[in-house]
Structure 1
Amino acid sequence: MKKKSVSGILTSNQMILLYIIVVLCVLIGTRNQAFLSVSTAITLCRAMLVTLCFAVCEMLIIISGGIDVSFPAIACAALFIPIKIMTDADLDSVPLAFGMAILIGLIFGAFNALLIAHIQLPPLIATLGTSSIINGGLLVFFGSREISNLPDSVDAISKQYLFTYTAPTGFEYKLTILFLIPILLCVFVAVLLRYTMLGRGIYAVGGDANAARIAGFNVRRIRVFAYTFSGAVTGLAAMAYCILMRTANPKNLMGSEMMVIAAVVVGGTRITGGHGGVLGTILGVCLITLIQNNLIMLGVPTYWQKFVVGLVIVLGTSITSLRAKRIAQGPKV
């Protein structure tokens, strides 16, 4: 039994991802010796911050049997509208900025939940519609101009750090205090999925909604929670992104859904629902961020990025599907 358990751990999806990340880091490190350093880790954490928040929310929705492609549009609305209101009204409050962003995300998440859990539209169609409504609304009411002068107290958060590392070159690498957001989110969702009845319900609904209903789970409420929670956290992450970039642009995050879904899928979350975890998602985001930011160091042209990400989605989905089939068939006699 011990041999089997060790073998299972060494060949688990998370360990395979870890092997790939280590090999990729070694390959990049051979091209750039400065890559394997504390400064790279800080840069990677900064690059992962918002993507990781989006990916954990997307993971939760996919586990519950749905999918959400509207989160980039929700994020754009949640970061731009509060800053627009605050600058026009000459308001300056960090709690107000984050509160409005979370509220906007919550409203659009609840709207997705209404379409999917109550009207019973297919999740892909519902969230595509929500994305189009938000994009069109932002364009009609605000145009495409960005706001570069954030309220002083909001902008000041971008200058608060967890720690600072000074490289041998004298350049300072600083890890923003906003990195606490994905850390706390990952801990919360991991505990939710592993130790609560709601977490079990999310897995059950994604695995088989009818069986979950017979078992006593309220399928509609679970789906409402998944989309509403995702919307609220998307709003929170969007404001963090706005502060990091020190600008509010209604188009900045558009097109990020492929990267996020790729990270979730390659992290071991089954696209059909019912299976997935936070650790795999963290490793998936790490891998996709490394690929996205460092392909050029391996001599791969930047225009190959989308091809590689698409390949990762196909391979990740195929591997998780094949593993699921093998588990379902059981050991060969």
Structure 2
Amino acid sequence: MASRPRTSRPRRALLAALVTASVALPVSGAARPAAVPAPVPARLAPLGTAEPSVLEARYATVRQEIRAARDMAARHGDRRRAAALTAMAAPGRAFLMFDGRDGGRGVEVFGDLSRAGRIAVLVPGAGVDLDHYGRLRRGAEALLGELGPGTAVAAWLGYRTPTTLGPSSLTAARAEGAAPGLRTFVREVRRVRPVARVSLLCHSYGSVVCARAASGLDVADIVLYGSPGTGAKDAAALGTRATVWAGRGGEDWIGRVPHMVLPLPFGTVGFGTDPVSPEFGAEVFDAGDAAHSGYLIRGSVALRGIAAIVAGTAGARHA
């Protein structure tokens, strides 16, 4: 009797992850944040300048959009969403864009964008939406605190992130859809702050988004942390002149994810080469013992390393 072809251990592990995610999806989707209604936001013109008066006018306009979404959530009976949006609409919060539909999207600025000489754009990974926005905000605030004056941090929740436990987190489909929006935002930032040093900070699945957007972007650094891979075989394949950095904390479970690409009848799953491996060719930074959601925790080794990259003071250490 002919023996069956043996499946490699990484391939079996990736298949197991896919099956687990497929089973978990209906459970995690039971209370989908996308089910909360929100109004269609007004169409905003691109920023033409970063003058304080222009930025304040934009922040005020978007604050009204958030309040309209809050009111609709309250009428729908979702007190949790309404409370979250009340906090987002508070005086002093600075959103350049907001859309409360389908889980929510938004871009919040921390620091003074009108005078920033260094700008970090945070691109989140799976599971971040309006109901879980606090962790993205806390990371942005911690990074701004580490960098100090002269810096702005933009938390870019500009796409419908995949669920943490779901097939959408194993393919590049959401990243393909997100990349044009990220590219447009970065180019707008470069246009209104042409002398600023801009860095893309890409966490987890966000590194797949950054990889899809990278080609042709005028940024100094692309930082991949907690990354499952990018879908590119190496840093050169990203098609960017930016310095590509990669880091993984010692307590990050994503280091156990198989780094391979698996073609299946319905599409391709997996993201290929490990970004912290020598084969990928990134500059590796020390992420200490960070867990998967712990890279931007105040006082952490990972936060100091990422801040040094944004500041342009990090010493390159090739993988």
TM-score normalised by L of structure 1: 0.25
TM-score normalised by L of structure 2: 0.26
Higher relative contact order (CA 8 A, sep 6+): 1
Structure showing greater radius of gyration is 1
Relative to its length, the structure with more helix (as a share) is: 1
Relative to its length, the structure with more strand (as a share) is: 2
